[in-house]
Structure formats: C-alpha cells, structure tokens
Amino acid sequence: MLKVNNLHVEIQGNEILNGLCLSVGAGEVHAIMGPNGSGKSTLANVLAGHEDYQVTAGEVLFNGSNLLELSISERACEGIFLALQYPVEIPGVSNVQFLKTALNSQRKYHQLNELDAMDFLQWLKTKVQQVGMEEQLLYRSVNEGFSGGEKKRNEILQMLVLEPKLAILDETDSGLDIDALKLVAKGVNAFRHVNTPKQQRAIILVTHYQRLLNYIKPNFVHVLLNGRIVQSGGPELALELEENGYASFVDKAS
Amino acid sequence: MTTQAKNLERFVGGEYPHGFVTELATDSLPPGLSESVIRQISAKKNEPEFMLQWRLQAYRHWLTLDVPTWSKVHYPPINYDDIIYYSAPKSASSGPQSLDDVAPEILQTYEKLGIPLHERAQLAGVAVDAVFDSVSVATTFKEKLADVGVIFCSFSEAVQKHPELVQQYLGSVVPFTDNFYAALNAAVFSDGSFCYVPKGTRCPMELSTYFRINSLNTGQFERTLIIVEDNSYVSYLEGCTAPMRDEHQLHAAVVELIALNNAEIKYATVQNWYPGDKEGKGGIYNFVTKRGLCQGNYSKISWTQVETGSAITWKYPSVILKGDNSIGEFYSVALTNNYQQADTGTKMTHIGKNTTSTIISKGISAGHGSNAYRGLVSVGQNASNAKNYSQCDSLLLGAHCSAHTFPYIEVRHPSAKIEHEATTSKISDEQLFYCLQRGITAENAVSMIINGFCKDIFRKLPMEFAVEAQALMEVSLEGCTG
Ligand SMILES: Nc1ncnc2c1ncn2[C@@H]1O[C@H](COP(=O)(O)OP(=O)(O)OP(=O)(O)O)[C@@H](O)[C@H]1O
Ligand SMILES: [Mg+2]
C-alpha cells in the first residue's frame, strides 16, 4: 500500500529524515518508536503533505502512484489520515459540522452524493459510541477546551467517520488514562478489522509506549533514530526497547 | 510566508457580481451644490414649504462645517461640486403609481439582483421598497400593510400624504446639526423609505428597502424614517448594491428610528455596495448616520449589520436609551478585503433608568483591508442600573490587513455595570492544515471558519437574509481553489 524509498526531508534547511525506507502492506499495523526529536512526527506530516517540510530526495508511492505530487486534501481524499500529536482547535466551528463538511468533501471527491444532516447524524452517533465519547462534545467547537484525552479520542472519531485506507496515529496514546486508552484501542481495532479483502486498511502507530501495543497488536515494530529506520522486528522488539531503551541503537547509529 | 499562508492570500480576492450598469434615460440636475439646486430638488418633489425651509437651514449649516477627520479611514478630499445631487429615471420623475409604471429596465435590474419586485414572485412575507439612484421606484404589498394600518412607502410619498408625521419626526433623532454628512443629507436627500406602525400593531411581514446606485457621478442621499408606536413591532431589512465604476461614489444616508412605549424595532442591513477593485480603484464611500431613539419605557431597538461592500464604510448605528427599562442592541459583521476600509461601531447612550445595551462586533480583515471598531457607551447621571456588555472580535486573514478597537466608556452613575471583551485571532496555518488533512478544500475551510466566527450575528438576521449574508461572505472572499 505504502512504499517509502530513501526519503530525505528538510525543515528550514535542517535535514530531519535522511534516507528513510518503509513499506506498509494492506491490512498491516506498523508501530514506529524512537526517541524525542528523531523525526517520527516529521515522517507523519510529510506523508500527509504538510508544506513546512521539503522533500529533497526519495520517493513515496501510495497504492502504486506518486504520493508526493498530490495536495494535502487530495491525499486525504485518497485515503491518508493523520491523527495529530497536537490536535488543533477551531473556535466557532462545531465538531459535528466539521465532521460533516470533511466527510462530504471526501464524498464529493469520489463523486458520491453528499449525506444530509439527518442521515449523517444517525450514523455519526454509532461511531461516537465506539470511542466512548460524550455526545455533547459533538456540538462544541472543534477541540476547543477539550481535555487532552478528549482531543485524542476526537481524532479517532474522525478516523472512524472518514474511513481512510491508511491511518497514521501520531502518539494518539499519550495523555490518555487507562480506560481511555482501552477505548481508543477498541476504536482502532474496530477500524482495523473491517477488512473486506478489497478494502484492507493499514495503520502506522507512532508511540513511545509498549503498553498500547498490548491492545493493538502490531505486525511490525520499527526503531526510528536520527532520521532513518535502524531496526525492524516483530512485537518483541517493543518489549526489548521498553527494557533497554535506545542506548544500544544510538551506538549502532553513530 | 508559508505556502498555506499564500493560499490564504490568493483565496481572499472575490469578484463583485452586482457590477452591471442599467442604461436608462435620466432626469438629472447638473453637478454642484447651491441654494438653487436645493430649491430645484424641493420643487421637483413638489414639497411643502416646511421641507424647503428645513433643507435650506441644513445647507446653510453644512456650509459652516469642516469634513470630519477623526476616523481611521483615509481618502482624498471629495469635491462636492463634482457630484450630481439629483438623478431620477425619467419615467419615474412624477413618481410611479404602481409597478406597471416602473420602467422594464429597472424591474430587470432588480431581478438580476435577485430582488424581483412583482409581488407574486416575492419571498412570501417581505414587502420591498426599491430606491434607484435618488428615487423610490416601487413599494410592494402596500395595500396589505394598509389593512392593518401600517404605512410603508417612499419618503416622497410620505411627505405628500402624511406631512404631519414627517414634520413631527424628521430630524428628531438625527438633527441636521449632528454632523457634516447628516447636514449634507438633510439639504439634498431625494428619497428613501418611510414606515409608520400604529399602536398595538405587530407588522405582519418583514419590510425591506433595496438601495441601488446606478448613474455615474451621482451621490445617493436617502433618508429612512421609522416610527413604531406603543406596543408595536416591526422588523426591517435594508440591502444595497451598486455598479462597478472606476470613480468613487458617495453615499450619505440618514436613518432615524423612533420606538415608543413597549415598542420594538429590529433593523438589519446587508450592505454590499461596490467595494472597488483589487488595487483599490473605485467603490462607494458609505458615510451613514443611523440612530434609534428608545423614547418609550420598555422599548427596544436592535441594529444588525453585515457590511461586506463599499470602499470606505463610516457608520455607527446608535441607540439613545431614553425610556426606562429600554434595550439597545448592536450586532455587526464587517468584512474588509483588498483596499477596503471600515470604521464602524456604535454609540449606546443610557439616559433612562434600568437600561440595557449589548454590543457584539465581529471584524474580518483580508488583503490590505483595514477594520476599526469604534464604540461609545455613555451612562448619564440619572441612568441608574445601566448595564452594558460589549464584545469585539477581530479575525485577520493574511499578513497585510489590520484591525483596531477603540472602545470609549463614559460613566456618570455609580450603579452602572459595564463589561468589555475583545479578541484578535487569525486563521492559523495549523488550522488550515488540519482542515485540508481531513479532505476539506481551502475555500470551504476558510468560509467554514469565518461562518463560525460570525454565526452569533447571522443568527440575528431573518432566516432568508442569514442565508444571503452567508453567501455574500463567500462571494466577497472567494478567488482561488487553494
Ligand atoms: N517547524 C519546525 N521548525 C524547526 N525544527 C523543527 C520543526 N519541526 C520539527 N523540527 C525539528 O525536527 C526534529 C524532529 O522533530 P519531530 O517532531 O519529527 O520529532 P519526533 O520524533 O516526533 O519527536 P517526539 O517524540 O518528541 O514527538 C526535531 O529536532 C525538531 O526540533
Ligand atoms: Mg512527535
């Protein structure tokens, strides 16, 4: 589904990613771990098309075509979803209106008819239950005054509503209490397991904590260090990291 | 500047859809202002002597005044001798008696603007008075309103048919001594709308006036006078457009509202005069004096305005809270794009006891637009228990626009409760990225955020006009697909 080859990315002249390679197949869950500042959010943002980052070399293929030449919203409509590490507040715009506008924009892109308010609301409420969110949050301004955990859950709700092909979750687990973590994991698993063979979904989980991986079993774990992936393995790699930290990799990388 | 910010800049550059000119034979006076011009205007309108005397007094007073310079707006001096003070479509010089007398070109103009004047084709429940250049060309639903005793007609007709009401109230809220433009208006105004709602009457439909400037080099000076007697109610809407011209055109209107005991007046404006082009060439100078007098106890006046047009807007719809327990409200959205300038706000003058005023102002600046809120809340020495709440929010789009807030407060009674809040915000790159990442186009993202910013005000408009106002904001800002 996603193929990243030798990706080099700069921000304001500083190279953050240098030669990153990653391949994600349909139906797979990949966890990416790495120390602060190693470039995890940079990777996530570049895949989503954030314009502060310059790709200086390398290529990214999404379902066989060149992702880098698509605009931010085209990428979203093609099925890339990024749950932000720091979700943004939009005062004055209600959550439900934001979700409806987003969904209908994507439907329009795919030449589907737009959902009307009633149909949309019915369907939305089933999704709200899946993430255990208070319904009243739908009628508040997007993320405004939401607690940290509510913001993260709201990201998952958006993912469930928009049903992307590739979901990139940037530290969606940080700041969640134990119960919220389970609910978020439940939401992600529900999303993951709607796997009609034609419509398999993939997930990239950026996380610092092995704990999340108890609830969402990854197929692969990667260690990102100094802008590239220095080690890949199965779930056991996360346990090893939890035990020993990144010290041994730092030696290897330098 | 980031690419997202550049998208935003490109995005805010809409086209003006009402910029066409109607070709029409007109009856105009030559440009310039003198006593003789004023006598001619008065004679053309066959006015009673008191009107002529009032105009002449206003003119003589105007001659003694200097152009005000205290506002934030900048423009080259206006040569008042280059302006045509009276221009009427020829066929209408003697005043149309019915819609059938209105020239087809004018009817077509209003259809193009989306304001069909044929009663059958109208939005149910809205009566329209259409003012074309200097004269009122058609008032609809007159008979139906007359059935309940509501008078709704052109100002000229009111002068002919109800001179006693005109004489009693004209200039009682905005005297010609009020300011430079009010004096000019009093001297030369040629028409406008008049509305009188008798005691105990709830006006059965929305009333509205559409103003259109058509002729070149013509100033539009109209006057609106609304009188609502005890226990009565009216809701009034005013809309404005003008053709695209390279020259600036002057619009100096006066609106006077009078609410007696327990009366309520809602006055809404959707102002979309031609704003000038992207370089700031052309456009209307909109210098307007609007004031309401809550004369009776428990009376209420609310101003709602959506200002997207004009090269320069200079207006402060105000309320004098004279009656005890009276209420004044001001809800405003002002948008400036390209080189537009707006200096707008309100004045709430608390005189009676237990009076309450609310001010909510939303300013949006884009391009090189400049937007100033100027408000005065004054509480007089007998105005015990006066309350005011003011909120002024500014939203900036792009890096070259500006917003300013000038709240003035004068309190002469210790029991007054005055609250003021102000915020300035921007549409950030991160907000835009977030919306785009969810598949929303840049245009939809910006208009969604702006509508969110304005929704408290749009809610105050009658339903049909809220939709119109929302569409207007989109037109005023559109221009690129991001
Ligand atoms: N807008 C920016 N301007 C300047 N430097 C930036 C910017 N964004 C990221 N960086 C730098 O790029 C590097 C990688 O940042 P990134 O956010 O990708 O790290 P991360 O792996 O997600 O870290 P964390 O675990 O703390 O979230 C950091 O050194 C950061 O300071
Ligand atoms: Mg990060």
- A151 Cβ below 6 A of ligand 1: no
**pLDDT at res. B216:** 53
Instruction: Calculate the alpha carbon distances from A11 to A18, A50, B64, B316, B429 in Å.
Output: 12, 11, 64, 48, 16
From atom 9 of ligand 1, which residue's Cα is the shortest distance away? A42
Q: What is the pLDDT of residues B93-147, one digit of tens each?
A: 444 555 555 566 666 665 655 555 555 444 445 566 666 655 555 566 777 788 8
Residue A195's pLDDT band (boundaries 50, 70, 90)? Answer: low
Number of A–B residue contacts, CB under 8 Å: 81
Nearest to B155 by CA among B78, B209, B100, B197: B209
Q: What is the pLDDT of residues B147-192, one digit of tens each?
A: 899 998 888 889 999 999 999 999 999 999 998 989 999 998 888 8
> Quick one: tokens of A121?
């609301």
Q: Which residue numbers in chain B have pLDDT < 70?
A: 1-27, 70-71, 73, 88-140, 211-219, 240-248, 273-276, 280, 310, 463-482
**pLDDT at res. A130:** 84
- Comparing A244 with B102, the larger pLDDT belongs to A244
Burial zone of B388 (CB within 10 Å; 0-12 exposed, 13-18 middle, 19+ buried): buried
Domain, as residue range, for A31: 2-251
- Comparing B127 with A247, the larger pLDDT belongs to A247
Kindly determine whether residue B437 and residue A77, on different chains, have CB atoms separated by under 8 Å. no
**pLDDT at res. B90:** 60
**pLDDT at res. B158:** 93
Give chain A's domain count.
1
**pLDDT at res. B10:** 45
Mean per-residue pLDDT of chain A: 91
Inside any domain, residue B450: no
> Quick one: tokens of B266?
């809602």
Inside any domain, residue B1: no
Inside any domain, residue B26: no
Residue A50's pLDDT band (boundaries 50, 70, 90)? Answer: very high
**pLDDT at res. B94:** 47
Distance from CA of A91 to the nearest CA of B (A): 7
Dist CA B432 CA A77 (whole Å) = 16
Inside any domain, residue B332: yes
Domain, as residue range, for B407: 99-428
Inside any domain, residue B438: no
B443: helix, coil or strand? helix
**pLDDT at res. B11:** 44
Q: What separation in Å is there between the alpha carbon of A52 and the centre of ligand 2?
A: 15
Dist CA B301 CA B280 (whole Å) = 35
Q: Which of A73-82, A241-250, B262-271, B431-440 has the lowest mean pLDDT?
A: A241-250
**pLDDT at res. B22:** 60
In this structure, are strands A166-170 and A202-206 parallel, antiparallel, or unpaired? parallel
Which of A51, A92, A158 faces B438 most closely, judged by CB atoms?
A: A158
**pLDDT at res. B279:** 72
**pLDDT at res. B275:** 67
**pLDDT at res. A87:** 96
- Comparing B249 with A136, the larger pLDDT belongs to A136
Give chain B's domain count.
1
> Quick one: tokens of B38?
């004023």
Inside any domain, residue B287: yes
**pLDDT at res. B460:** 80
Residue A31's pLDDT band (boundaries 50, 70, 90)? Answer: very high
- Comparing A249 with B37, the larger pLDDT belongs to B37
- Using most ligand atoms within 8 A of CB, pick from A9, A10, A15, A16 the residue to mutate for ligand 1: A16
Test mutation, B440, B456, B474, chain A, max A CBs within 10 A: B440
Q: Is the pLDDT of residue A244 over 70?
A: yes
Mean pLDDT of A113-121: 85
Cβ atoms within 10 Å, residue B417: 12
Q: The domain spanning residue A176 has which CATH number?
A: 3.40.50.300
ipTM higher than threshold 0.85: yes
**pLDDT at res. B325:** 98
Inside any domain, residue B437: no
* Alpha-carbon torsion (B146, B148, B149, B155), positive or negative: negative
